């Protein structure tokens, strides 16, 4: 019996990785992608010579396997930068991460943060029940009140006590007392952060790192799934096409996948309805001058500023913008709990005014609004029901022979390297399953 053909829903990074690793093992694959180009959130757009990615992506992986794959994709043509970023707080700019770079803030704020940081190390004694507790023990209550909790509400759109700590991992640096004191007394504190340096393609945007995965793939673009019949193994697409599958891998967001399946049990539907996530509204602009500074992105804590981060795309790679221009990508998170209540035009106006207020833009700057991007699925929210809900949904998929991978298939907070490995994992899982099946024949 020959190897089955494997159908993959979604030609984003995880789907491409699954196909790439399956083809290495001798399997035929076909990828179905609803957009006109592959890449998913890692795809890039060229707008009049300006390059923007769909959401911010840089490669800071330490995994040599992933580093080599990405380097191979661009024939070693990438730029490598130190990961320099800043924090904006109440009219002040400080280095990142803020918890060990308090120098330059008002003395009263620095004192509050230092005192409570010491209390957290020597006086606090309570169990970690949620993300708020974790932050209080890691940074002290004062720093959290000034910084962490405000950013959590903005970026995650929920209160910190509504989050578990399952997602934290290396993402937040926990400094020791010496580091906090040093960073409060002088502005030359060492930048300690989970990203030391990052790579970005010389040309073509982040999607250029995906070239190795695209070679020789059987891609069907413009295939937006309308209905999935698990019993008969039939996929119906919005373009009128129906296709049969033998083995299916899905990378599309779980709420979308369950929503188009036929005859889904009510429990699974209701459970899927409890999943939470954030969306992203991105504004892409160009400024006709060289901006000051050498940083690559900024974080914004003030609650009256709607954006969480600003990325200087033209600094990632010189070819991201024509000569004489700098480009910025502004990220505004929102969710069902915290929807966007303004029109596109009003949001842009507010954002430009705030950028002038922070000093990122000057009043006389010649600003071009190049595009906006609405990303329906940005980040998975790690609430306390997530794990239980996922167990039910994933078990239902497994029981019906549907494999899954990627950020929104696994419903996890995956970086790009982890996303590649997620696709590799499901490829190995399938290959091993077929090998075991052959032994039983």
Mean per-residue pLDDT over the chain, rounded: 96
- Which CATH number belongs to the domain containing residue 361 in this structure? 3.90.660.20
Same domain, 199 and 315: yes
Same domain, 30 and 166: no
Res 191 pLDDT > 90: no
pTM beyond 0.85, yes or no: yes
Nearest-angstrom CA–CA distance, 49 and 153: 35
Same domain, 247 and 392: yes
**pLDDT > 70: what percent of the chain?**
98
Kindly give the interhelix angle for 13-24 and 416-440, rounded to the nearest 10 degrees. Answer: 40
Nearest-angstrom CA–CA distance, 79 and 76: 9
Q: How many CB atoms lie within 10 A of CB 4?
A: 13
Res 254 pLDDT > 50: yes
Local structure of 289: helix, strand or coil: coil
Indicate if the alpha-carbon torsion angle 249, 252, 254, 260 is positive or negative.
negative
What pLDDT score does 190 carry? 62
What pLDDT score does 125 carry? 87
What pLDDT score does 439 carry? 45
Same domain, 199 and 299: yes
Task: Give the Å distances, CA to CA, from 106 to 71, 90, 111, 185, 303.
Answer: 44, 10, 9, 12, 18
Nearest-angstrom CA–CA distance, 102 and 97: 9
What pLDDT score does 438 carry? 57
Residue 31 within a domain = yes
What pLDDT score does 437 carry? 61
**CB neighbour burial string for 408-425, b if at least 16 within 10 angstroms, e if fewer:** bbbbbbbbbbbbbbbbbb
Residue 211 within a domain = no
Same domain, 298 and 253: no
Residue 115 half-sphere exposure toward CB, CA atoms < 13 A: 7
Q: Tell me which of 118-127, 217-226, 367-376, 408-417 is least confident.
A: 118-127
What pLDDT score does 49 carry? 97
Interacting residues of 33 by C-beta distance below 8 A, sequence separation 6+: 10, 11, 12, 15, 40, 219, 220, 221, 222, 223
For the segment 128-137, the average pLDDT, to the nearest whole number, is: 97
For the segment 412-433, the average pLDDT, to the nearest whole number, is: 97
User: What are the φ and ψ backbone dihedral angles of 100, each rounded to 5 degrees?
Assistant: -120, 30
**pLDDT > 90: what percent of the chain?**
93
Same domain, 255 and 343: no
Indicate if the alpha-carbon torsion angle 140, 142, 148, 149 is positive or negative.
positive
- Which CATH number belongs to the domain containing residue 172 in this structure? 1.10.3110
Beta bridge partners of 432: none
Res 227 pLDDT > 50: yes
Residue 93 within a domain = no
Local structure of 249: helix, strand or coil: strand
Residue with tokens 């190897």: 3
Kindly give the interhelix angle for 149-156 and 131-139, rounded to the nearest 10 degrees. Answer: 140
Nearest-angstrom CA–CA distance, 98 and 143: 9
For the segment 105-120, the average pLDDT, to the nearest whole number, is: 97
Residue 212 within a domain = no
Res 5 pLDDT > 70: yes
Nearest-angstrom CA–CA distance, 98 and 115: 16
Same domain, 173 and 310: no
What number of residues does the chain have?
441
Tokens read off for 131: 């993300």
Residue 286 within a domain = yes
Confidence of residue 271 (pLDDT cuts 50, 70, 90): very high
Residue 88 within a domain = no
Nearest-angstrom CA–CA distance, 72 and 306: 39
**How would you classify the pairing of strands 29-33 and 6-9?**
parallel
For the segment 116-141, the average pLDDT, to the nearest whole number, is: 95
Nearest-angstrom CA–CA distance, 119 and 133: 14
Same domain, 270 and 393: yes
Nearest-angstrom CA–CA distance, 162 and 182: 33
Same domain, 134 and 55: no
Res 106 pLDDT > 90: yes
Same domain, 267 and 410: yes
Residue 90 within a domain = no
Same domain, 388 and 270: yes
Residue pair 300/310 in contact (Cβ under 8 Å)? The answer is yes
For the segment 158-172, the average pLDDT, to the nearest whole number, is: 95
Residue with tokens 């940005």: 378
Total number of domains in the chain:
3
User: Which of 380, 396, 412 marks a domain boundary?
Assistant: 380
Same domain, 410 and 298: no
- Which CATH number belongs to the domain containing residue 433 in this structure? 3.50.50.60
Confidence of residue 282 (pLDDT cuts 50, 70, 90): very high
For the segment 280-297, the average pLDDT, to the nearest whole number, is: 96
Give the domain extent around 135.
98-193
User: What are the φ and ψ backbone dihedral angles of 258, each rounded to 5 degrees?
Assistant: -65, -35
Residue with tokens 């396997």: 65
Range 425-431 contact pairs with CB under 8 angstroms and sequence separation of 24 or more: 426/18, 426/249, 427/17, 427/18, 427/20, 427/21, 427/22, 427/24, 427/25, 428/21, 429/403, 430/6, 430/22, 430/27, 430/247, 430/249, 430/403, 431/22, 431/25, 431/27
Tens of pLDDT, residues 359-386: 999 999 999 999 999 999 999 999 999 9
User: Which of 380, 402, 425 marks a domain boundary?
Assistant: 380
Higher pLDDT, 66 or 192: 66
Tokens read off for 197: 């340096």
Q: Tell me which of 49-58, 190-199, 304-313, 375-384 is least confident.
A: 190-199
Res 2 pLDDT > 60: yes
Beta bridge partners of 298: 86, 310
Tokens read off for 138: 């890691």
């Amino acid at each position: 019996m020959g190897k089955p053909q494997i159908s993959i829903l979604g030609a984003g990074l995880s789907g491409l990785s699954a196909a790439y690793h399956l083809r290495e093992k001798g399997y035929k694959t076909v990828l179905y992608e609803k957009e006109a180009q592959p890449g998913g959130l890692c795809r890039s757009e060229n707008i009049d010579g300006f390059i923007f990615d769909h959401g911010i992506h840089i490669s800071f992986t330490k995994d040599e396997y992933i580093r080599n794959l990405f380097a191979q994709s661009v024939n070693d043509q990438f730029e490598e930068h130190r990961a320099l970023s800043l924090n904006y707080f109440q009219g002040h700019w400080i280095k990142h991460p803020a918890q060990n770079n308090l120098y330059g803030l008002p003395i009263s704020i620095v004192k509050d943060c230092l005192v409570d940081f010491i209390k957290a190390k020597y006086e606090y004694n309570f169990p970690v029940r949620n993300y708020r507790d974790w932050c209080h023990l890691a940074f002290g209550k004062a720093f959290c009140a000034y910084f962490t909790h405000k950013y959590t509400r903005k970026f995650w759109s929920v209160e910190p006590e509504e989050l578990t700590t399952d997602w934290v991992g290396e993402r937040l640096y926990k400094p020791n007392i010496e580091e906090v004191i040093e960073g409060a007394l002088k502005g030359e504190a060492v930048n300690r952060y989970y990203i030391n340096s990052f790579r970005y393609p010389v040309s073509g945007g982040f999607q250029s790192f995906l070239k190795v995965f695209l070679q020789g793939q059987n891609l069907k673009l413009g295939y937006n799934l309308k209905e999935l019949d698990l019993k008969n193994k039939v996929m119906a697409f919005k373009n009128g096409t129906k296709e049969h599958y033998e083995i299916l891998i899905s990378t599309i967001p779980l709420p979308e996948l369950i929503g188009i399946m036929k005859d889904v049990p009510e429990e699974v539907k209701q459970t899927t309805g409890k999943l939470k996530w954030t969306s992203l509204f991105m504004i892409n602009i160009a400024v006709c001058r060289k901006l000051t500074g050498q940083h690559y992105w900024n974080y914004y804590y003030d609650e009256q500023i709607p954006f969480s981060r600003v990325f200087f795309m033209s600094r990632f790679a010189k070819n991201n913008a024509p000569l004489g221009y700098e480009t910025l990508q502004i990220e505004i998170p929102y969710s069902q709990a915290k929807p966007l209540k303004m029109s596109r035009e009003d949001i842009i106006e507010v954002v430009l005014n705030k950028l002038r207020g922070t000093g990122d833009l000057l009043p006389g700057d010649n600003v071009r609004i190049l595009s906006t991007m609405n990303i329906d699925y940005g980040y998975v929210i790690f609430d306390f029901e997530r794990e239980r809900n996922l167990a039910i949904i994933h078990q239902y998929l497994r029981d019906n022979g549907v494999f899954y991978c990627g950020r929104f298939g696994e419903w996890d907070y995956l970086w790009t390297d982890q996303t590649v490995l997620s696709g590799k994992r499901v490829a190995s899982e399938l290959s091993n399953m077929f090998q075991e099946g052959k032994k039983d024949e």
